[in-house]
Amino acid sequence: MKSKAAIGARGGSRRGALELAARFTLPGTVAIALMFELLLAERKFAIFGGGFGQSRTLDTPVEIGIFLIALLLCQAMVFYLLFRFVRRLHGRQADTVRFHFNFLFFVLLGWCGALIAKYQALAYFSDAMSFQIIRNLGGGSLIDALLYVLSETGLILLVIGGAALFYWICNALFLRRMAKEPPFPDRAIMTRRELTLALIVLPLLLFGANRIDDTRSALVRFNAVLLWATPLHQLTDFDRDGWSFYSHPIDRQPFDSTLHPYALDVPGNGIDEDGFGGDLSFTAPPPETAPVIAGARAHVILIVLESARHDVVGRIVDDRELMPTVNRIAATGSQAEAAYSHVGFTSFSLKSLFTGRLDPAPGGPSLVGDFLANGYEVGIFSGQSEDFGGIAETVGMRRASHFVDANTLREERAFSFAAEGSLYVDGRIVLREFDRHLGDPESWRTPQFLYFNFQSAHFPYHAPGREWLLEGEPIARGDISFANRDRVRRNYWNAMAYNDLLVAELLERLDRLGVREDSLIVITSDHGQSLFEDGFLGHGHMLNEEQTRIPFIIDRPGIAIGRPVGLANMRAIILRAAGADVPTPQQTEVFQYLGTLEQPGRIGTVDGNARWTVFDLSRQAVRVDDGPWRRYADLPARSAIRQETDGLIDRWAHQRWLGVLERRDVQMAD
């Protein structure tokens, strides 16, 4: 028999090991949860490595250092408060084995489970997009994410059941047997003085980190940071205008709700609400008259090539024309020398293309209504969901005689993602539906306005079953990175070559139907695409040539297009080319913005010579081309750059007021 001393020694050793483990319950939980979230965030958002949809990357020691310190402090404080809360809930069992086990089981597993649910919902949107970026893209919805998670109810219940079984087994095997163990010594992890100091330092640290663009962009990905930043924002939004000491940009007029950088300047009231350039001068334009197409009415075929850059036209790859069909149309027809999107997001761009407005109201004038009013039938044939971001509702697509999009063809999507913004249907399926709806020559006795949207060049630029037309082979989605940028570009060039093939097949169908000669073909894009030339992959985050310059081609020679031309100008140009007596847009620059028109990160103009003037509302600074940033407050009052900046800000307010007036007119008409 073992001696009592040996049994006591073994019990003491076990007790010592448990006590040592208990000391690491809180720091161990913080470390595990933090590493788990960092891995998820890096895989999803590439905050250190960069990737599609990620314009902010932690790549300097200062950015990384402040990011890690702020994140660690926020995470530690959240878990410390949870630790004290759970300890209080355990009452007499505080500091026992059961308390430490329950903290690890419920807090750590619950936290990680919430992270998995969050990133599963984000994966539903695909393309490395956060909820905020999805909103900026125009069609994202938190409800979509919730519905996705709810659709996985069976799996969730299975996981919860497994966790409950695991807890029951642990309780039966050792928690009950250790119920009589005395509690561990209560070693305060923080003194009250240390806790007070941490609660003072944390807001100051977050305030400083919020002033560093890349650091702020990375921190908002993390739940613990949001748990601290959200109440700090609410507490310092003194005038309740949505801006505070913790918003971006900061509210420099914290006690006046009418004054902040995104305030809409009311013209003629003597108050400079946005703080730039004085009181706004604005004159409402005359009411728009309905365009009338005179003479023989040609069929009009509008083709939008997703993410097509301007330089795909005429490009040579592997000693062959990348887009021979489009090149021929451009050579014999009319082509814009300088065409641009106003913003790098699909839904906003398509609304502008159809309506001629940057901020159109649902039910207002659009190409759909224009052609319907002139006796046309309208057909929508799209490889994306036209409900994404409210495109169909805004421009009236549901009034079409033929409506086919990725939502109606949901079961034939190329990828498993089922959110509105992720649906993609191959162009050949779209052409098949065109055959089904309009493959009979009798259908063409009435003039047709048709809209085709080919999604081939949407990220990741290649889809299962698509033809590979170039040399080599496609790169897998998981291998897309800066290191593989040459292969990524080949994916994109191949997608554009495939688009050209689709255009050729559409034209062949029009020839067979005998309507090609009576059709006006228009080809354009919603925005461009950076392919790492500027260190970025994607669109919607920079005002530059790669992301905003697009093709605009009409297959009729002699069409007056102008230089430059924006997507919002194309409605008038298309109507004029079709025979309507509408004025040709006359302008010297195209207005652009990043984000949303109401709250852009930057606004800018680009002229026909690709000269950009950009104003950053967060920095409150202006830059011309690649020149230095100059603070607005430092610009001489009567200098050319000050006047140009004030004019740019007034153009932004002008566009917002046009949207306000149109929404008012639509409401009055209803």
Q: What is the pLDDT of residues 363-387, one digit of tens each?
A: 899 999 999 999 999 999 999 989 9
What are the φ/ψ torsions at residue 461 (nearest 5 degrees)?
75, 0
Ranking 11-15, 30-34, 71-75, 198-202 by mean pLDDT, the lowest is: 11-15
Q: In percent, how much of the chain has pLDDT > 90?
A: 47
> pLDDT at residue 78 above 80?
yes
| pLDDT the model gives residue 665 | 77
- Arithmetic mean of pLDDT, 8-34: 69
- Arithmetic mean of pLDDT, 293-306: 94
Other CB atoms within a 10 A radius of the CB of residue 568 amount to 25
- Arithmetic mean of pLDDT, 604-613: 93
Contact of 478 with 498, CB cutoff 8 Å: no
Reported pTM = 0.77
- Arithmetic mean of pLDDT, 520-530: 96
Specify the DSSP class assigned to residue 586.
-
Beta pairing, strands 537-538 & 530-531 = antiparallel
**Confidence band, pLDDT 50/70/90 cuts, at residue 172:** low
| pLDDT the model gives residue 7 | 43
The burial of 270, by beta-carbon neighbours within 10 Å (0-12 exposed, 13-18 middle, 19 or more buried), is given as exposed
Looking at the structure, give the CATH architecture of the domain made up of residues 299-586.
Answer: 3-Layer(aba) Sandwich (3.40)
Nearest to 528 by CA among 343, 301, 281, 292: 343
Residue 375 CB partners (closer than 8 Å, separation 6+): 297, 446, 447
- Arithmetic mean of pLDDT, 425-442: 95
What are the φ/ψ torsions at residue 407 (nearest 5 degrees)?
-75, -45
> pLDDT at residue 342 above 80?
yes
Strand order in the sheet with 552-554: 334-335, 552-554, 519-524, 299-305, 448-454, 377-382, 402-404
| pLDDT the model gives residue 447 | 96
- Arithmetic mean of pLDDT, 114-137: 52
Ranking 178-182, 334-338, 401-405 by mean pLDDT, the lowest is: 178-182
- Arithmetic mean of pLDDT, 484-504: 95
Maximum mean pLDDT: which of 144-153, 474-483, 517-526: 517-526
- Arithmetic mean of pLDDT, 396-423: 82
Angle at which helices 25-45 and 61-89 cross, to 10°: 130
**Confidence band, pLDDT 50/70/90 cuts, at residue 426:** very high
CA dist., res. 529 & res. 522, Å (int): 20
**Confidence band, pLDDT 50/70/90 cuts, at residue 263:** confident
| pLDDT the model gives residue 300 | 97
- Give start-end residues of each CATH 3.40.720.10 domain in the chain: 299-586
Nearest to 520 by CA among 289, 290, 296, 291: 296
DSSP for 135-154, please give it.
HHHT---HHHHHHHHHHTHH
**Confidence band, pLDDT 50/70/90 cuts, at residue 477:** confident
Maximum mean pLDDT: which of 408-417, 570-579, 627-636: 570-579
- Arithmetic mean of pLDDT, 639-663: 91
| Rounded CA Rg of the chain | 30
The residue that leads in pLDDT, 166 or 69, is 69
Contact of 100 with 186, CB cutoff 8 Å: no
Ranking 12-16, 58-62, 243-247, 280-284 by mean pLDDT, the lowest is: 12-16
Nearest to 205 by CA among 78, 81, 67: 67
Q: Say which residue the tokens 């929508």 belong to.
A: 380
CA dist., res. 664 & res. 35, Å (int): 51
- Arithmetic mean of pLDDT, 71-83: 92
Nearest to 421 by CA among 385, 456, 397, 455: 385
> pLDDT at residue 579 above 90?
yes
b/e burial code for range 644-656 (CB count within 10 A of at least 16 → b): bbbebbbebbbbb
- Arithmetic mean of pLDDT, 83-95: 82
Q: In percent, how much of the chain has pLDDT > 70?
A: 84
CA dist., res. 35 & res. 50, Å (int): 19
Strand order in the sheet with 339-340: 549-550, 339-340, 565-566
CA dist., res. 66 & res. 211, Å (int): 11
> pLDDT at residue 130 above 60?
no
| pLDDT the model gives residue 353 | 97
Contact of 218 with 237, CB cutoff 8 Å: no
Nearest to 524 by CA among 224, 302, 219: 302
The residue that leads in pLDDT, 619 or 397, is 397
The residue that leads in pLDDT, 371 or 464, is 371
| pLDDT the model gives residue 135 | 43
CA dist., res. 6 & res. 482, Å (int): 62
Residue 330 CB partners (closer than 8 Å, separation 6+): 313, 314, 551, 553
> pLDDT at residue 347 above 60?
yes
> pLDDT at residue 277 above 60?
yes
| pLDDT the model gives residue 150 | 47
The residue that leads in pLDDT, 275 or 40, is 40
Mean pLDDT (the chain, rounded): 84
Contact of 586 with 216, CB cutoff 8 Å: no
CA dist., res. 363 & res. 669, Å (int): 10
DSSP for 44-81, please give it.
HH-TTT-BBTB-----SHHHHHHHHHHHHHHHHHHHHH
**Confidence band, pLDDT 50/70/90 cuts, at residue 350:** very high
Write out 322-389 in H/E/C secondary structure: CCHHHHHHHHHCEECCCEECCCCCHHHHHHHHHHCCCCCCCCCCCHHHHHHHCCCEEEEEECCCCCHH
